Amino acid sequence: MGRVVVALGGNALQRAGDHGTWPEQVAQMRATATALAALVAEGHELIVTHGNGPQVGTLLRQNELAEHELPRRPMDVLGAETQGQIGYLVEQELTAALVRARVPRTVLSIVSRTVVSARDRAFAHPSKPVGRYYTEAEARALRKREGWQMVYDGARGGWRRVVPSPTPRRWIEGDGLQKLLARDWGAHVVPVVTGGGGVPVVERGRGVFEGVEAVIDKDRTAAIVATTLQADTLVILTDVPAAAIGFRKPWERWLGEVSASEMQVYLERKEFADGSMGPKVEAALSFLRSGGRRAIITDPPSLGRAMRNETGTRISPG
Ligand code: ADP
Ligand code: MG
């Protein structure tokens, strides 16, 4: 038993090959919600966080297509919009799943802001591709007109906008939520927090924050959430049942029970790709360094068995 923070990947919300229709997302969330409700039924206190990659990509494209008629909104605002739509989806499906599992709770989505440093090196080196692929001529025009940084993606043969992915420092709403949970709220409420890693803001003065054009890795923020709320377990749900070494090589080996120090060695050997499995492993290790007891990387169908130490990658401190 204990407090569990579960981070849902874009893939726990939308399967590869889906068109991203609302009914597809509902169906996908329904399956994930059933697995989450089973955790609560087993006596765990649950906090949910989630990614927003596909959803923010859709909003960027809609803004772009409509800009002759409606002003384009900045990326921080789009991040907040995705917290609203995904938060609503989690509320809908998880509320129903909790009732089915006979452990009704109020599922409460919280629009969350994450503070980043204005001096973060990422602002000078934007690295995270967002939105669609462009031709070379379009990329040149956008660079000039919008001041966007564009990179060429050789594998897909197109240009993409890249934005900074600064390190999350603090989740603004976290202190307040920690106080509420300490007052036994955990028995009644399932909070949904820091969607898409939280809306990125920089601090301009006491209580004064300004949204920035950036994205935050949701796994890195999930580690901050789990630490701030003093969770026992951080679970990162994605579309693979575990982390592997030699991933997609003939000598591939899926990892089960593993210590943080062993995982650190694999991380330094670059076993986990940047921007996908890498940040998950980093988040797990950072949580364990700040007092967490267990971090799990698995997929939604394996969640229950992974919590019972039967499958998935389970990382322990030490
Ligand atoms: P999410 O939306 O859940 O964050 P990501 O695509 O960011 O999903 O990360 C999951 C992906 O990481 C997997 O689909 C897999 O292709 C990739 N990956 C990279 N390195 C590894 C590894 N060493 N072990 C397992 N998966 C890996
Ligand atoms: Mg990811």
The pair of three-digit structure tokens given for residue 102, joined into one six-digit string: 């006979």
Report d(CA 314, CA 306) in Å as an integer.
8
- What domain range includes position 184? 3-116+168-316
**Ligand 1 in reach of 243 Cβ (< 6 A):** yes
Whether residues 47 and 23 fall in one domain:
yes
Which is more confidently placed, 53 or 310?
310
pLDDT in tens, 13-61: 777 777 889 999 999 999 999 999 999 999 999 999 999 988 998 999 8
User: What whole-number percentage of the chain has pLDDT above 70?
Assistant: 100
* pLDDT tens for each residue of 148-200: 999 998 877 789 999 999 999 999 999 999 999 988 888 899 999 999 999 99
User: How confident is the model over 257-294, as pLDDT tens digits?
Assistant: 999 999 999 999 999 998 889 999 999 999 999 999 99
> If you average pLDDT over every residue of the chain, what do you get?
94
Q: Which residues are catalytic?
A: 10-11, 128, 218, 280
Q: For the residues of the chain, what is the DSSP string, one character each?
A: --EEEEEEPHHHHS-TT----HHHHHHHHHHHHHHHHHHHHTT-EEEEEE--HHHHHHHHHHHHHTTTTSPPPPHHHHHHHHHHHHHHHHHHHHHHHHHHTT---EEEE---EEE--TT-GGGTS--EEEEEEE-HHHHHHHHHHH--EEEEETTTTEEEEEE--PPP-EETTHHHHHHHHHTTGGGTEEEE--GGG-EEEEEEETTEEEE-S----HHHHHHHHHHHTT-SEEEEE-SSSS-EESTTSTT-EE--EEEHHHHHHHHHTT-S-TTTHHHHHHHHHHHHHTT--EEEEE-GGGHHHHHTTSSSEEEE--
Cβ pair 105, 189 in contact under 8 A: yes
Residue 228 sits in the same domain as residue 187: yes
In-domain check, residue 173 = yes
Same domain for 186 and 311, yes or no, is yes
Domain co-membership, 285 together with 172: yes
Number of domains in the chain: 2
CATH number at residue 297: 3.40.1160.10
Q: Is residue 123 domain-resident?
A: no
104 found inside a domain: yes
Mean pLDDT of the region 205-219: 96
Instruction: Determine the Cα angle at 194 with ends 216 and 70, to 5°.
Output: 70
Could you tell me if 293 and 240 lie in one domain?
A: yes
136 and 173 share a domain?
no
Band of pLDDT at residue 252, cut at 50, 70 and 90: very high
CA–centroid distance, 162 to ligand 1, in Å, is: 20
28 occurs within a structural domain? yes
Ligand lying nearest the CA atom of residue 266: 1
Is the Cβ atom of 227 under 6 angstroms away from ligand 1?
no
Cβ of 247 less than 6 Å from ligand 1: yes
Q: To test ligand 1's pocket by mutation, which of 252, 276, 311 has the most ligand atoms within 8 angstroms of CB?
A: 276
Please say whether the beta carbons of 308 and 256 come within 8 A. Answer: no
Residue range 101-128: mean pLDDT, rounded:
96
pLDDT at residue 176 in the model: 95
Q: What is the pTM of this model?
A: 0.95
